[in-house]
Amino acid sequence: MTAVTRLRRPAALMAVAALLAGGATGCSLRLETPPIPLRTPSPEVQVRDAAALREQAVIDAAAAATGTLAELESATAPERLAALGGIYVEYPDSTPEVPSAALAEAVLAATQGALDAALETDDASLAALLRSIALGHALALDAAGLTGPGGEPVPNADTAVPGTTLAELARAHYALAFAYEAIAAAAEEDERQDALASQALHRDRGDALAAAAGETGLRAQLYDVPADALTDAEARAAYAAGLERDLGDAYTRLAIEAASEDVDWLLAAAVEAAGRAADRAGGTSEVPALPGLAGA
C-alpha cells in the first residue's frame, strides 16, 4: 500500500507541472479566482473629494495668513472638511495633490467650486452641503470686506420660488422698512440718515418681491415695533440687527434648497442681510461653518 502511494505522488506532481507548462506555452488554463477589480470612486465621491481638496487648500492658506478672513476660515474650514468626510485616499500610500494659492484666491475657488459642483451632482443632500459650504465662504469674504460670487439680491423673471414664499420675504422687508422708519423718527443726525437709507432699501426690495409674487397692498400693512426697541441708540441697533439676522436666515434656508436659477440671488440676499446685521451689531460677524443646515 505504501509503495503505491509513493508512486502516485510523483505522477500527480508531474500532471500539475504539465498543466502549468501547458499554460505557459499557450494552452488555456482558467483560474477559478477572478482578478481583483480596480477601485473606482463613484461620481459622488469624486465631487466630495474635489470639494475636500479645495477646503484643505483654504486651511493651508489660512494657516499662513493673518487678518479677518484667515481667522474666520481657520475656525470654520476644518468643520467643512470634516462634513465632506475628509480627503478620499485611493491607496494607503497615495498622496493627495492639494492646490496651493493665496487665501482670498483659495476661498473664492472653494466658493465657486462648491456652487458649480452642487449643480452637477444628482445627490440632493450633497448639493445642499455644497451650497452651505459656498455660503459659509461667501459670508467670510463679506465679513472681511471682500466680494464673493453671487448676483443681484432680487429674483429673476424665471424664478422658481413660490409666490407665497416671495410674499413672505416681501413682508419681512416691509417690516424692516417700517422698523427703520420708526428708528429714524426716534434718532438724530447720522443715525437718522442711516435709518432712512435702510428704510428706502427695504421698501424697494419689498416692492420688487411683491411684484414678483403678484401681490399688492403688502406695504400698506401695519408692522409692530416694540416701544422698548426705540429707547436709545443701542436698543435700536440691537432690534434692527435681530430683524436683519432673521431675514438673512430665511434667505439662507431658501438658498440651500433652491432651484439652480435662484441660487445666485438668494445667496447674494443672504450675504447682504448678514452684513447689515453685523453692521448693526457693531461690526461683529458670526460666520457659521455650514449655514442653513440642521445644527449649524
- What's residue 2's pLDDT? 40
Integer Cα distance of 214 and 209 in angstroms: 9
> Considering the entire predicted model, what is its pTM?
0.83
Tens-place pLDDT, residues 85-106 = 998 877 777 777 888 899 999 9
Identify which of 202, 197, 76 has the alpha carbon closest to the alpha carbon of residue 144.
76
Task: List Cα–Cα distances, 265 to 154, 162, 163, in angstroms.
Answer: 6, 15, 16
- What's residue 37's pLDDT? 60
- What's residue 30's pLDDT? 55
Identify which of 106, 135, 125 has the alpha carbon closest to the alpha carbon of residue 264.
135
Take residue 268 and report the three cell numbers written for it: 447674494
CA dihedral sign, ordered 269, 270, 273, 274: negative
- What's residue 191's pLDDT? 96
- What's residue 32's pLDDT? 63
**Which residues of the chain fall short of a pLDDT of 70?**
1-39, 294-296
Please provide the distance, in angstroms rounded to a whole number, between the alpha carbons at the two ends of the chain. Answer: 80
- What's residue 151's pLDDT? 83
Identify which of 136, 59, 49, 139 has the alpha carbon closest to the alpha carbon of residue 96.
49
- What's residue 41's pLDDT? 73
